[in-house]
C-alpha cells in the first residue's frame, strides 16, 4: 500500500499540477549538510522534459523570482534549456547563463525535485539540472578570473565554499 502524502507533499503536487513547476527555497537549517541559501525548481522534468534549474548566492525571494523568470523566458521563446544558454529577460535586462550542475550534488541539493520526478515515474537518468549563473556588476560570470570574488564564491557549487 502506498504511503499517504503529508501536507507539504500534497501542496507540492497541487502547485506543480496547476502551474507546471514550483520553486523550492532552501535555507540552512543549523548548518546541516549544506549551510547555504539556494532555490531550485521541481516539476520541469515532468511538465516540459526540461532540466531542473538551481540558483545560489542570492536572497531566496530574488533567486525564486529569477528561476520563475527563466522558465517563462524559455517558454516564451520555445527554447530547450541547455548548458551555455544565455537568457536576457531574467535579471533586469542583464544576461544570465545556464551551466551544467553536477549530478554528484543532486541528492544534497534537489531532494524535492528528485522525489517528485520519482513519484511521476522518472528515473535519475531521465533528468538533469542546470545552474542559473548571474553576473557581477561588470557583467562577468563565475569562471572569469576578473569576476568579483564574492559573486563567484556565492555561486560556487563546491561544498567547501
Average pLDDT over residues 50-70: 96
Q: Where are the domains of the chain?
A: 7-155
Least Cα distance to 57 among 124, 152, 158 occurs for 152
72: pLDDT strictly greater than 90: yes
Three-state secondary-structure class, residue 69: helix
- How crowded is residue 64: how many other Cβ atoms within 10 Å of its Cβ? 19
- Identify the pLDDT of residue 2: 61
- 59: pLDDT strictly greater than 60: yes
Model pLDDT for residues 104-130, shown as the tens digit of each residue: 999 889 988 999 999 999 987 888 999
3-state secondary structure of 89: strand
Instruction: Return the C-alpha cell found at 10.
Output: 500534497
Amino acid at each position: 500500500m502506498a504511503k499517504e502524502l503529508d501536507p507539504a507533499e500534497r501542496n507540492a503536487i497541487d502547485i506543480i499540477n496547476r502551474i507546471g513547476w514550483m520553486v523550492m527555497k532552501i535555507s540552512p537549517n543549523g548548518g546541516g549538510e549544506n549551510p547555504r541559501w539556494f532555490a531550485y525548481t521541481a516539476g520541469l522534468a515532468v511538465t516540459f522534459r526540461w532540466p531542473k534549474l538551481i540558483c545560489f548566492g542570492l536572497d531566496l525571494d530574488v533567486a525564486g523570482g529569477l528561476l520563475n523568470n527563466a522558465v517563462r523566458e524559455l517558454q516564451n521563446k520555445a527554447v530547450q534549456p541547455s548548458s551555455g544558454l544565455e537568457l536576457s529577460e531574467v535579471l533586469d535586462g542583464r544576461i544570465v547563463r545556464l551551466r551544467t550542475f553536477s549530478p554528484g550534488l543532486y541528492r544534497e541539493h534537489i531532494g524535492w525535485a528528485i522525489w517528485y520526478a520519482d513519484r511521476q515515474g522518472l528515473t535519475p537518468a531521465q533528468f538533469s539540472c542546470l545552474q542559473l549563473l548571474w553576473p557581477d556588476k561588470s557583467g562577468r560570470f563565475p569562471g572569469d578570473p576578473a569576476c568579483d570574488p564574492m559573486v563567484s564564491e556565492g555561486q560556487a557549487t563546491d561544498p567547501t565554499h
